[in-house]
Amino acid sequence: MRSCYVFPSTVADPASPGLRALLFAAAAAGLDTVVTKSEAITVALADEARRFGLRLLASVACFRGPEGPRAVGDDGLGWQSMEWYTGVRPNDPVWNEQLVRSVARIAATTEADGLVLDFLRWPLHWELELRPGARPRSASYDARTLAQFTAHSGIRLHGDTGADAARRIARDHADAWTRYRTGTVTEVARQLRDAVREARPGLWLGAFLVPTDDDATRRRLVGQDAVALGELFDGLLPMTYHAIVHREPGWVGTVTRALPPTARAIPMVQTTADALSVIGDQADWGPQVSIDDFTEALRHALAAGDGRYCLFPAEGLTPAHFAAIRTTHGAAHAR
């Protein structure tokens, strides 16, 4: 899969000259897939993508917020939003049952050729919280989650709640906490996979991964187990936006190579840091991404991802980017 992620505003009018020019350029450069949010998928968009020989994938948000069961941070307070992100906890039975039904309904009715599950994890605004020197937060230390943790692990917290429970768990029960949180995400992922397979057998199904240097860190921070998820899904997309997390382009390859072979990794490649021009809002996407930076990141993605990648966002692609894509494809093929 050689793909790009397009924001809904760009695909709102499938017949627009701007979108048609983007799809034509993507196909001409060797891309084969377009990803956008599920709510933006229409018959007209699917027809337009296929006219250029492109598959269409629909991303589905699972635990983003602001709707959903509220999490409690390790400070004992309700989860605090960062920029556009408000995380919710993935362990509420009622919410999860509704989510499974919703994803099954999307799978059965979408015009897309596959789904990519997003925010399938415990809360973390990793774009800011995984930067060098940042302190990643943890959740959730609400009464229901702590009761679930006790039932899962057999560990009693002696009445501790909120920040007190967070400190006790970090000091005495960190491994058990990671196992509980990881098991929670994996079980939801399994339910979603089963629901999609029943609703529409054969539909491609993937999931976005938080980008960390190793799987143990990912399990600890957000409960995503790449080994387990790789066995459930057709592909995993590590969100290796190097500029956003203040890393060098080679970091794309480092994260991707650390994933198990069963993950069938599709690394993300950041095209621009100009969030304002893309989404019309201020967001910290890191330092400027030069063409050289983009090309190096793409080269690492191609090598580590066995030829697979996803460009983010497609709106950041210029003629110079497309020229770099064609050149990089040619160099990779020559090897």
Cα-based torsion angle of the residue sequence 265, 139, 59, 273 in order, rounded to the nearest 10 degrees: -80
Does residue 292 have a pLDDT over 60? Answer: yes
If 0-12 CB within 10 Å is exposed, 13-18 middle and 19+ buried, where does residue 333 land? exposed
**CA 109 to each of CA 26, 75, 101, 105, 207: distance values in angstroms, whole numbers, following the listed order:** 26, 42, 12, 6, 19
Q: What is the mean pLDDT of the chain?
A: 96
Angle of the 174-199 helix axis to the 162-172 helix axis, nearest 10: 100
Average pLDDT over residues 175-188: 98
Using the predicted structure, report yes or no on whether residue 115 has a pLDDT greater than 60.
Answer: yes
Angle 14-18-22 from CA coordinates, rounded to 5°? 90
Confidence at residue 224, expressed as pLDDT on a 0 to 100 scale: 98
Predicted pLDDT at 333: 57
* Least confident among 75-79, 164-168, 327-331: 327-331
Q: What is the model's pLDDT at position 159?
A: 86
Task: Kindly state the DSSP code that residue 314 receives in the 8-state scheme.
Answer: G
240 with 251: CB under 8 angstroms? yes
Both structure tokens of 195: 């629901």
Q: What is the pLDDT of residue 334?
A: 55
Q: Are the C-beta atoms of 100 and 214 separated by less than 8 Å?
A: no
DSSP string of 294-311?
HHHHHHHHHHHTTT-EEE
Tens-place pLDDT, residues 119-132: 999 999 999 999 99
Q: What is the pLDDT of residue 33?
A: 98
Amino acid present at 94:
V
Q: Please tell me which residue, 70 or 334, carries the higher pLDDT value.
A: 70
pLDDT band at 297 (very low <50, low <70, confident <90, very high): very high
- Asked if residues 59 and 40 have their Cβ atoms less than 8 Å apart, the reply is no
